Structure 1
């Protein structure tokens, strides 16, 4: 049996009887895991973590075993191979790491309370019960839970409860499923419930710290999402209920446990009377993402974690498909274009980035796979590209066949391509594998050479990149029919440009709709033709032009200074996506200036020039006739105007604060963050700091909590920053799940950068112990990388992180982030003077 790394290769379970006794007082669990299955050999192993194993029996008889804590396994010697019933008795601690079975802490009316929940993805079911804790090891589960029950408490699990005997809660047998999707929770809960058209019970559950009305929005979105998916997938939801549970402490955003989906409170609960539209969009897409998984990930599961994208990329695309169908007025695909697309393009342009499909074995490396910009955002963009190529009819037919062929079982990426390709009558796999298996993406250059329009492709890098001769099969989506539908060569000649231009009547463009994962570099002739005819270009394409110009400037294929004068072409645009891309570029200019200098004054003038007209048009309060675009654009305009120190904006923000200072939470949610931050930054005092921090501790409104975090971390007072950093490790004030936002806020504050960086270095061990098992742990490194831009910070970053480069799960992040900072430092040194000259010139116009 040497060389076998997967437990499933040694023992294949079919059914579990699991009994777990949980004591909140002693923070201990004890239990028994009885597993029916087939032993492929006499030497088998199953997974456990941090357990004390009391006994192992096979078919009722004690058998030899030993525990290997490093490999997280129990090695077992059986008398024979074949059908076997294992029984393992064990004890284990309740964790405080938000993994396995763990408590969430909250307060109601000043009384501290606990809610017990679970998080088993990726490899944490083994902390709750001994098992074959691998996605391929699907089995049926009978769950029995005993706990130190108090009157009025509720217990939930994947399946309905069937009976209670002697204080033990027994749940119905599950369908065949993977261990990482098992879930249960208990505590003092409230709920609202409804039923879908097909009879599925849908419920939203939370602690009683929240007002009941905060559950309404999620209940509506969850019900309509399930109804949409049953229709779109042409496959019924396979369980009797779908519970959505908000956990006060939760490491990820949400988790698709089958039938019992768990969420951060911020991603499930909201005040229907005062929540900004972009927050509603965010919560709705998170819910629809997790419910997409009930089929894609739960019903059909990847064979191994290397195909994680099969789960996440698809759910990431489907969240937008679903919300666009059930709330068409929201134009939610624009949210995809302003969040997922730029994240994917930025991350995927760094040499050393992972491909969407990655080979992986080590549990620590498995957690590091959850690179949101690649597995979620790039993967989703890859699938959006595929959807545009095959069309919805073929996609739905392919998915229906895929679910029928693999339901309650496992699949690989090739199975999906085969099903969709057959439905579409197209070799989808040969196209999509060029995107799935290769890191990075191409830049398509469009040039007029000797009168002819030519296209070339090669890999695009920001910073140093090793040319590896990669090429992609690119769905070009050109507005000229002469361009190939799929561009798979290194070069193509489309013919005489003047004739083509005259025949088509509009400027030449590719990637119309911005659905394909590449960027475009038009030569000067083609770019100026587009800029001179912007009124013929749709808003998504205008956004894509700005986005591509920013990336080209980042990669030094054109200068930042050359793009600055183009911004004014877009300043009065009423489209959210165009404003988002323009201000993303403008934000990038900040790295070239030194705070509190004439350079910054000029940049603020530029920001004012870009935003002043829009500020007058939109103002601070919603108008009866304003569009969705207006609602979503206002925050970008207010943000720019306040950075610009526009006198009207500063005055209005301060007046709004003064008028509402006794009830800040009731300020309109779409402008509240700007009012609070402006007050703290420009009129801040220790009293205000203490008051806002106290409100942060007391409020249960996740959206208001987020606004307060942004405001408090913007203080300029060194004494208050020091006081704030002392709170970083006070879980009663800042929960570990929220700490990254606070760290990022202080680090991004020029007056707090040094203190936050010192804290990270001095207290790294505490951070590792507290959130080190969390799949978002590496993002603390990413946050530091995103801020640093000087040679001194680069050296400090390297000095601190290079010794950690061989830590499992951190290697790729540290290497990439060093490369990104090096590239940024070089760019600033070379272009700083030119960029500041361009800013000064345009700001003075």
Structure 2
């Protein structure tokens, strides 16, 4: 994650305005012969003092690309990273020749900021301890090759030893691929991987020293699920992409935050896919864009390039628009130009602006020059306009396909907009793909002979589509001929139209039934999330049997084919699909055989008979739905036992805590929030799941209201805003009104945009839930 607006401890900053001014120090733009301001408040370009510290801890390299990796200490057994209970140490750190203080000044921005710093301070106050540095003679004895950040051991729960070898190797492989793609050697002398126990950002791309949540650094391939392995490599790829986009070339101001984050998301996915083609990363990418589509369909959305008066305002833009939508637009532009031409433009951009700052127009100009096309005209609208288009397709009397575009809103009563986009269409038919640029309100395609049409081939474009009755029927009849990403996008597209009132629930159900033979894990994962929305917001007793049959029809074939026990021939897709099917059947269809088997397996696991690493989380969640306070107590004990020592195991049982429906178990989860068992970084997940737990959501809603002012409001903006967003799950009318009133009362400048989006989501969730509930009840 790159958050240029992270607050930095700087002696000269006396006010937010002072902190957010561009520094006096300027980067020389060697390509254009002019000076550009670099953002202030970020470790990579924070004025003369910050840049001096940056050079000492990770100065630009000489171009030989020989980065040093110290994600694990080779002196430890098998490269394990030694972490003492009272301190974190970075060993053999040649960049710390100036001693501890310069590096501490640099790393404080990520390691000691936000929740971690607040947590340590709270612990110090409550225990009467005070923050202290190692004694001077101890620092001298240890020498300049070690950096120690001393903190209260109980507050941080730092383990005596974790294994960082997999993460270290992931970093090395990512950098090698990125050097080849960019044509620029890794810009710094070394790269460290540092695990932080309580880190709201997830990761931070400090030049030469990337900080991660502890579970990412401590990923053990012998114990971690495939999902966890993907997270480790994916986050490393994202953060290391920032060494080129964000660190080597820095955004000129916070309104171009996307220029760093969208690139890191898009190119990070390219990196991960190149290293692990068997993982199906681009299907996961398309699944991730569903979050960007959802947020961007609100009237309260923001453009990718959004004005930000202060660094704090930019924090509210750390969302699926800046990450997923921005990356999807880049992918669409790459598809429009071709991958090699796009890469040529990337290399030209990096060459022109290395070690300086840039704005969006600089990148588009590089693509213009590399391609010989007017990319700026096409791309600029996509980043400066909020929302995205809906392309409506219908056969005309001459057999041509008529096109019409308008802005898509999830709100069926939203006022019409006159916005228009230059849309690079990629349409698939049985005979191949057809490209067209729709840059007017209407247009047409010569596709009279096509038996069926998918309007967004390979899911390459960021637009919704609507098909007339005949075109839709033909496409559903041939849905098996689409590739997985096209089926996934069709499913997400139909679900969005259903929630917007443009399709009936029966139309959406018809698509689910057409996908009865679906075997792709990513497509089924999107279906499971949509069905979960129905279960939380729109399911009535009258519709339960029909709903369960839908879930069974989609997921029972997968579990029957794969069975419960992993086989030697299982692919990694199979290893992810099996727990997905178990959780869907156990939680959504409430299948008795699945629930009994999951409960039996999780009790065996807790008793010491370790279950398959990919199944534990699913079994824990399914068993929790019928679990009592005693089982919850065992889950909580496992969370405390493994905290910081076996992060993946801790995560599996922590995420299952808010799934319990038992009243005493719910109270115990809330108590774990109060006593610090649940770290600040994990609060959004606890409340999100708790507020969509139909049996327990009122208890979680009451707990959140009571704890917001003393516990949530003072937290880092990322955590606070995520907790506020979780309130959008409260769709029952009474709860929705309460949440709306509460949100209006707690809105502050630093959260005003997040509050506006959450209030709109509440209203639309409630309205869609009522309509879909009535339509589902009529189905048989």
Check whether the contact 2:457–2:486 (CA below 8 A) recurs between aligned residues: yes
Q: Which residue of structure 2 lines up, in the alignment, with residue 356 of structure 1?
A: 304
Check whether the contact 2:56–2:95 (CA below 8 A) recurs between aligned residues: no
Taking the aligned partners of 2:368 and 2:480, their CA distance within structure 1 comes to 38
Alignment equivalent of 2:250, drawn from 301, 309, 320: 301
Taking the aligned partners of 1:783 and 1:151, their CA distance within structure 2 comes to 34
Is 1:521 the equivalent of 2:487? no
**Cα–Cα, structure 1 residues 122 and 593, in superposed 2: closer, same or farther, change >3 Å?**
farther
State the Cα distance separating 1:525 from its structure 2 match: 0.6
Q: RCO higher in 1 or 2 (8 Å CA, sep ≥ 6)?
A: 2
Any idea what the Cα deviations from partners look like across 1:61-108, whole Å, max 9, x if unmatched? xxxxxx854645699xxxxxx999xxxxxxxxxxxxxxxxxxxxxxxx
Alignment equivalent of 1:269, drawn from 211, 218, 229: 218
Q: Which residue of structure 2 lines up, in the alignment, with residue 320 of structure 1?
A: 269
**Cα–Cα, structure 1 residues 456 and 153, in superposed 2: closer, same or farther, change >3 Å?**
closer
Q: Which residue of structure 2 lines up, in the alignment, with residue 456 of structure 1?
A: 404
Check whether the contact 2:452–2:475 (CA below 8 A) recurs between aligned residues: yes
1:130-529 matched pairs, under 5 angstroms: 133=46, 139-141=51-53, 154-155=89-90, 160-162=95-97, 164=99, 214-338=163-287, 340-371=288-319, 373-452=320-399, 453-463=401-411, 464-479=413-428, 485-495=436-446, 499-501=448-450, 506-529=451-474
Is 1:736 the equivalent of 2:669? no
1:29-108 matched pairs, under 5 angstroms: 68-69=14-15, 71=17
Secondary structure of 2:459's match? coil
Secondary structure of 1:273's match? coil
Check whether the contact 2:56–2:98 (CA below 8 A) recurs between aligned residues: no
Secondary structure of 2:392's match? strand
**Cα–Cα, structure 1 residues 647 and 208, in superposed 2: closer, same or farther, change >3 Å?**
closer
Taking the aligned partners of 2:281 and 2:384, their CA distance within structure 1 comes to 29
**Cα–Cα, structure 1 residues 74 and 285, in superposed 2: closer, same or farther, change >3 Å?**
closer
Check whether the contact 1:444–1:457 (CA below 8 A) recurs between aligned residues: yes
Taking the aligned partners of 1:318 and 1:49, their CA distance within structure 2 comes to 28
State the Cα distance separating 1:356 from its structure 2 match: 0.3
Check whether the contact 1:434–1:472 (CA below 8 A) recurs between aligned residues: yes
Taking the aligned partners of 1:150 and 1:265, their CA distance within structure 2 comes to 14
Q: Which residue of structure 2 lines up, in the alignment, with residue 803 of structure 1?
A: 745
Superposition TM-score, scaled by structure 1 size: 0.76
Secondary structure of 1:352's match? coil
Check whether the contact 1:344–1:374 (CA below 8 A) recurs between aligned residues: yes
Q: Which structure shows the higher helix fraction?
A: 2
Check whether the contact 1:224–1:326 (CA below 8 A) recurs between aligned residues: yes
Check whether the contact 2:455–2:465 (CA below 8 A) recurs between aligned residues: yes
Structure 1 residues 309-318 or 460-469, which shifts more? 460-469
Q: Which residue of structure 2 lines up, in the alignment, with residue 94 of structure 1?
A: none
Taking the aligned partners of 2:86 and 2:258, their CA distance within structure 1 comes to 43
Any idea what the Cα deviations from partners look like across 1:779-811, whole Å, max 9, x if unmatched? 1121110x1212212210121111234x11222
Check whether the contact 1:183–1:260 (CA below 8 A) recurs between aligned residues: no
Taking the aligned partners of 1:790 and 1:173, their CA distance within structure 2 comes to 49
Q: Which residue of structure 2 lines up, in the alignment, with residue 530 of structure 1?
A: 475
Is 1:812 the equivalent of 2:753? yes
Task: Look at both structures and tell me which one has the larger radius of gyration over its CA atoms.
Answer: 1
Taking the aligned partners of 2:102 and 2:755, their CA distance within structure 1 comes to 46
Check whether the contact 2:20–2:310 (CA below 8 A) recurs between aligned residues: no
Taking the aligned partners of 1:641 and 1:835, their CA distance within structure 2 comes to 19
Alignment equivalent of 2:658, drawn from 713, 724, 730: 713
State the Cα distance separating 1:523 from its structure 2 match: 1.0
Q: Which residue of structure 2 lines up, in the alignment, with residue 692 of structure 1?
A: 635
Q: Which consecutive unaligned segments of at least 5 residues does structure 1 have?
A: 1-46, 57-66, 76-81, 85-120, 189-200
Q: Which consecutive unaligned segments of at least 5 residues does structure 2 have?
A: 1-5, 27-37, 58-83, 117-131, 135-144, 151-155
**Cα–Cα, structure 1 residues 261 and 582, in superposed 2: closer, same or farther, change >3 Å?**
same
Any idea what the Cα deviations from partners look like across 1:189-243, whole Å, max 9, x if unmatched? xxxxxxxxxxxx9x9x999955867312111110011111111100011211010
Q: Which residue of structure 2 lines up, in the alignment, with residue 789 of structure 1?
A: 731
Taking the aligned partners of 1:593 and 1:716, their CA distance within structure 2 comes to 18
Any idea what the Cα deviations from partners look like across 1:472-491, whole Å, max 9, x if unmatched? 11111113689652111111
State the Cα distance separating 1:755 from its structure 2 match: 1.3
**Cα–Cα, structure 1 residues 258 and 182, in superposed 2: closer, same or farther, change >3 Å?**
farther
Any idea what the Cα deviations from partners look like across 1:701-746, whole Å, max 9, x if unmatched? 2222221123222222212312321221222x11111122222232
State the Cα distance separating 1:436 from its structure 2 match: 0.4
Check whether the contact 1:268–1:287 (CA below 8 A) recurs between aligned residues: no
Check whether the contact 1:477–1:512 (CA below 8 A) recurs between aligned residues: yes
**Cα–Cα, structure 1 residues 564 and 370, in superposed 2: closer, same or farther, change >3 Å?**
same
Check whether the contact 1:218–1:284 (CA below 8 A) recurs between aligned residues: yes
**Cα–Cα, structure 1 residues 276 and 151, in superposed 2: closer, same or farther, change >3 Å?**
closer
Check whether the contact 1:313–1:376 (CA below 8 A) recurs between aligned residues: yes
Secondary structure of 2:164's match? helix
Any idea what the Cα deviations from partners look like across 1:547-605, whole Å, max 9, x if unmatched? 1110110111111232213312212211123212332332232245456x343344223
Taking the aligned partners of 2:337 and 2:217, their CA distance within structure 1 comes to 33
State the Cα distance separating 1:284 from its structure 2 match: 0.7
1:533-572 matched pairs, under 5 angstroms: 533-572=478-517
Q: Which structure shows the higher strand fraction?
A: 1
Taking the aligned partners of 2:7 and 2:638, their CA distance within structure 1 comes to 42
Check whether the contact 1:592–1:836 (CA below 8 A) recurs between aligned residues: no
Q: Which residue of structure 1 lines up, in the alignment, with residue 624 of structure 2?
A: 680
Is 1:761 the equivalent of 2:705? yes
Any idea what the Cα deviations from partners look like across 1:95-149, whole Å, max 9, x if unmatched? xxxxxxxxxxxxxxxxxxxxxxxxxx997669xxxx9957x9984337899xxx9
Secondary structure of 1:455's match? strand
Check whether the contact 1:182–1:258 (CA below 8 A) recurs between aligned residues: no
Alignment equivalent of 2:551, drawn from 607, 610, 625: 607
State the Cα distance separating 1:615 from its structure 2 match: 1.7
Structure 1 residues 445-454 or 293-302, which shifts more? 445-454
Secondary structure of 2:518's match? coil
Check whether the contact 1:153–1:187 (CA below 8 A) recurs between aligned residues: no
Is 1:654 the equivalent of 2:599? yes
State the Cα distance separating 1:829 from its structure 2 match: 2.6
State the Cα distance separating 1:163 from its structure 2 match: 5.1
Taking the aligned partners of 1:426 and 1:346, their CA distance within structure 2 comes to 31
Taking the aligned partners of 1:483 and 1:551, their CA distance within structure 2 comes to 25
Taking the aligned partners of 1:151 and 1:590, their CA distance within structure 2 comes to 46
Q: Which residue of structure 1 lines up, in the alignment, with residue 723 of structure 2?
A: 780
Secondary structure of 1:556's match? coil
Any idea what the Cα deviations from partners look like across 1:226-277, whole Å, max 9, x if unmatched? 1111111000112110101111121111000000100111233212112211
Secondary structure of 1:508's match? coil
Taking the aligned partners of 1:305 and 1:837, their CA distance within structure 2 comes to 50
**Cα–Cα, structure 1 residues 632 and 724, in superposed 2: closer, same or farther, change >3 Å?**
closer
**Cα–Cα, structure 1 residues 759 and 122, in superposed 2: closer, same or farther, change >3 Å?**
farther
Secondary structure of 2:420's match? coil
Check whether the contact 2:265–2:324 (CA below 8 A) recurs between aligned residues: yes
**Cα–Cα, structure 1 residues 290 and 484, in superposed 2: closer, same or farther, change >3 Å?**
closer
